[in-house]
Amino acid sequence: MAQNGGGRGWVTDDESGVQTMPDRWRLLLEWVLAGPERTPATQKAWAAENDMHEDSIRRIKRDVRFVREWDRRAAELNVHPERTQTVIDALYGAAAGGDVKAASLYLQYVEKFTPKRRVIVDDERDAAGLSDAELADELESLVAEFRDVSVPDGD
């Protein structure tokens, strides 16, 4: 006979004052955190397997203490580097396959790790004051820097 999950069974540690959830609640939490790999696949099946009523599971999942622990554990799980890398790999695969949105998200992610370059112009002259020839020479030298080609003197 399925039993009500109830709030009974919480134990408070005398030294730390921390509350510990009942074993069945802990098992439910482990199952919920397992994500898509969890077995059984449904909440109803989990309830039957653990001799608990479905409604009890819904009540447990609304209990403030359970939700607090669920949020804490989910946060730890979701920032795990392995999990993050799996998502990044999937984004890269989708982006390489032509998915524009995935490409955009992937590029936003890798931009955080790309070194930023700062260009400082130390020239007192105003571009408007340069002659056409001086301006052309300046432009050629800038283009040459990007092409890694030397530019002959414009004499």
Domain boundaries, the chain: 11-78, 82-111
* Residue pair 67/85 in contact by the 8 Å Cβ criterion: no
How many angstroms separate the Cα of 106 from the Cα of each of 75, 88, 98, 109, 150?
A: 22, 7, 12, 5, 36
The 10s digit of each residue's pLDDT in 36-89 is 888 999 999 999 999 999 999 999 999 999 999 999 888 888 777 777 888 889
**Paired residues of 12 in beta bridges:** 19
The one-letter amino acid code at 106 reads Y
Query: Cβ of 57: how many Cβ atoms within 10 Å?
Result: 21
Residue 14 has φ and ψ, to the nearest 5°, of -65, -40
**The tokens 């984004």 sit on which residue?**
91
pTM summary value: 0.51
Residue 123 has φ and ψ, to the nearest 5°, of -135, 125
What's the token pair of residue 31? 């199952």
Q: How many residues does the chain have?
A: 155
- To the nearest 10°, the Cα dihedral for 128, 129, 132, 134? -120
For residue 13, pLDDT beyond 90: no
